[in-house]
Amino acid sequence: MRVTKFLIGFSLVFSFQAQPSFADEEIICRVKGSGQKVFRLDSGIFSSSVLIMNSSGQFVDWCPETDSQKPSFGRDTAICKFSGKRLGNKLAWGETVIDFAQPSWKRRYRFAKLGQTWKESQPGGRERATCKLR
């Protein structure tokens, strides 16, 4: 009897705590120069990831971890730090932040001409996007 009550209590507590983490959130952002982008916060019990819809309508990893970029996560916020990423005809070093709680997309970066290094880069690159829940 005690074991049954314990299991029921444990499952109720676990289900209430785990429920928000299983809910995937999607936002649509209108990024200047890039058009409309759909982002999905894919939350699990032990990890989170952000997916972006590609041109064929499938969700792919938004910020795959490489030597030049690294994702990090906060509560309903995803940050992608990148270095030497090509943006148009320039190289950029900075970060992109997606906030799912208050839907927004922001990018701050330094930029340089192709072939130059971070030390030769210029500060001041900023972009914002208007977003809404899907």
pLDDT tens digits, one per residue of 18-62? 334 335 789 999 988 778 999 998 876 666 789 999 999 999 999
For 96-112, what is each residue's pLDDT tens digit?
Answer: 999 999 999 999 999 99
End-to-end, the C-alpha distance of the chain in Å comes to 46
Residue 45: inside a domain: yes
Task: Kindly tell me if the per-residue pLDDT of 74 is higher than 60.
Answer: yes
Number of folded domains in the chain? 1
55 inside domain: yes
| Residue 69, domain member (yes or no) | yes
User: Between 24 and 93, whose confidence is greater?
Assistant: 93
Q: Between β-strands 48-53 and 69-74, what pairing exists: parallel, antiparallel or unpaired?
A: unpaired
Q: Is residue 4 part of a domain?
A: no
Determine, yes or no, domain membership for 36: yes
Q: Is residue 8 part of a domain?
A: no
Paired residues of 26 in beta bridges: 40
Distance of CA 42 to the CA centre of its chain: 10
Kindly report the number of other CB atoms within 10 A of residue 92's CB atom: 20
Domain that holds residue 86: 20-133
Does residue 11 lie within any of the structural domains? no
Q: Indicate whether 68 belongs to any domain.
A: yes
